[in-house]
Amino acid sequence: MSWSSRLEGVAPFRVMNLLEAAQAREAAGHDVIHLEIGEPDFPTPAPIVEAGQQALNAGHTRYTPAAGLPALREAIAAHYAECFGASVAPERILVTPGASGALLLASQLLVESGDRVLMADPTYPCNRHFMALAGAAIDAVPVGEESGWQLDAGLVATHWREDTRLAMLATPSNPTGHMLDADQLGDVAGAVAERGGHLLVDEIYQGLSYDLAPLSAASVAPGAFVVNSFSKYFGMTGWRLGWLVAPEAAVEPLSRLAQNVFLAASTPAQHAALAAFRPECRDILEQRRIELQRRRDALLDGLVSLGLAPSLPPQGAFYLWLDISRYSSDSEAFCRQLLEEENIAITPGTDFALQGGERHVRIAFTTDVGRLEEAVGRLERFLARRKGTR
């Protein structure tokens, strides 16, 4: 059987195979510590759940407009004004089935077959895959501590080509958790604008920041396309709801695309998300952000003694990107053996980095401090058996 050639550039998400193996070990009676999936152990906040139940009971199950429930678009716009000082008209916001729906719209609008797209390496792999499915060639620019694990204006200038059409950022980033500040974001936006390109910014971990104030490209680069989600900060992973902020001129073609590729996002989920901006819900979310920072700090403290703590700690999201080259040059084998020997599930760097992924792993601090401390103890035993081996 022959399939579309578009799929050739879409690699499997290895963490899902690891999750399946971890769940099989759990089913066999092993105590597995899950640090692999980007989903904290918090349930969706009660006010959101209650609003969703009320929507179902009220019969809110019919289609909304393709761009989303007007009241939700207005609530998101108010959120930008209140939290980031950004003036975003509700009409510029399109509500989508998860951030993936927003990425689908942006990729189909912004790139033609053969266009080039700049993004950091490492990055969330689906960012590459959405652009590749649209026919783009990906220029994955290796980044490290010297640029804060982000594309900066200098890298954009160095790697921009005549046929580059788009630069994509992620702040806070997955897998490194690093952020761009306002000056850095403005500099990148300026470098892209000077070259006549588009800027797309993935902000799905916005709000989950620990050392820098939350920031949106919407307040720094009004012409940027901004992707966000209710999954991470708002705790609505399974509700599958996100949004895209677009320049005014792009709204009509994006709406046409939405009408055809997904018609509309889930109606009950949209009504539930209205509760995410209420004060009682924001209090819950802030408490969770503080708890995630506590988990980050506890995990960093534990990794210092193992020589694995990054010298540039993550400022946001809920991940650590660790260099394991002292112990292994095969992150997939490292993760597999760690699961088999110590029942810890973490993610190989090859899921995220085209260069250097075999020397890195991602740890998600998505479980409580006690379990993180237990994981550090197990990891210490595991590494002690590998000192001096490669």
Domain with residue 52: its CATH number is 3.40.640.10
Return the number of other C-beta atoms located less than 10 Å from residue 234's C-beta: 25
pLDDT (0 to 100) of residue 214: 86
Which residues form the domain of 23? 5-43+281-384
Which stretch of 2-6, 160-164, 350-354 has the lowest confidence by average pLDDT? 2-6
Alpha carbon 11 to chain centroid, angstroms:
17
Q: Does any domain span residue 390?
A: no
Give per-residue pLDDT as tens, 249-275: 999 999 999 999 999 999 999 999 999
Residue 57's Cβ-count burial label (10 Å; 0-12, 13-18, 19+) is exposed
Q: How confident is the model at residue 12 (pLDDT cuts 50, 70, 90)?
A: confident
Residues 10 and 84 in one domain: no
Mean pLDDT to the nearest integer, 236-255: 97
Please identify, among 278, 299, 317, the residue that sits at the C-terminal boundary of a domain: 278
CATH number, domain of 330, equals 3.90.1150.10
The number of C-alpha atoms within 13 Å of 303 and in the hemisphere containing its C-beta is 19
Residue 304's Cβ-count burial label (10 Å; 0-12, 13-18, 19+) is exposed
Residues 261 and 290 in one domain: no
Q: In this prediction, what percent of the chain has a pLDDT beyond 90?
A: 91
Residues 39 and 51 in one domain: no
Could you give the CA distance from residue 288 to residue 216 in angstroms, rounded to a whole number?
A: 20
Could you give the CA distance from residue 170 to residue 150 in angstroms, rounded to a whole number?
A: 8
Is the pLDDT at 380 greater than 50? The verdict is yes
Is the pLDDT at 146 greater than 50? The verdict is yes
Please identify, among 240, 261, 278, the residue that sits at the C-terminal boundary of a domain: 278
Q: Does any domain span residue 12?
A: yes
Q: How confident is the model at residue 58 (pLDDT cuts 50, 70, 90)?
A: very high
pLDDT (0 to 100) of residue 170: 98
Residues 343 and 379 in one domain: yes
Residues 141 and 177 in one domain: yes
Residues 9 and 141 in one domain: no
Cβ atoms 127, 140 nearer than 8 A: no
Give per-residue pLDDT as tens, 174-189: 999 999 999 999 999 9
Give the ranges where the chain is alpha helix by DSSP (H): 14-27, 46-57, 70-84, 98-110, 125-133, 153-159, 182-194, 217-220, 248-261, 267-273, 279-304, 331-342, 369-384
Give per-residue pLDDT as tens, 278-319: 999 999 999 999 999 999 999 999 999 898 999 899 999 999
> In this structure, is the dihedral angle defined by the CA atoms of residues 269, 272, 274 and 275, taken in order, positive or negative?
negative
Q: Does any domain span residue 389?
A: no
When the pLDDT of each residue in the chain is averaged and rounded to a whole number, the result is: 95
Residues 57 and 103 in one domain: yes
Residues 126 and 241 in one domain: yes
Residues 243 and 138 in one domain: yes
Q: Does any domain span residue 163?
A: yes
Nearest 5 degrees, angle CA 93-CA 121-CA 196?
50
Please identify, among 238, 262, 278, the residue that sits at the C-terminal boundary of a domain: 278
Q: How confident is the model at residue 168 (pLDDT cuts 50, 70, 90)?
A: very high
Is the pLDDT at 388 greater than 80? The verdict is no
Residue 142, amino acid: P
Q: Does any domain span residue 19?
A: yes
Q: Does any domain span residue 54?
A: yes
Residues 115 and 203 in one domain: yes
Rg of the chain's alpha carbons, rounded to an integer?
21
Mean pLDDT to the nearest integer, 204-209: 96
- How many structural domains does the chain have? 2
Mean pLDDT to the nearest integer, 6-13: 80
Q: Does any domain span residue 156?
A: yes
Residues 221 and 256 in one domain: yes
Q: How confident is the model at residue 390 (pLDDT cuts 50, 70, 90)?
A: very low
pLDDT (0 to 100) of residue 102: 98
Q: Does any domain span residue 158?
A: yes
Residues 156 and 9 in one domain: no
Cβ atoms 191, 157 nearer than 8 A: yes
Could you give the CA distance from residue 299 to residue 203 in angstroms, rounded to a whole number?
A: 24
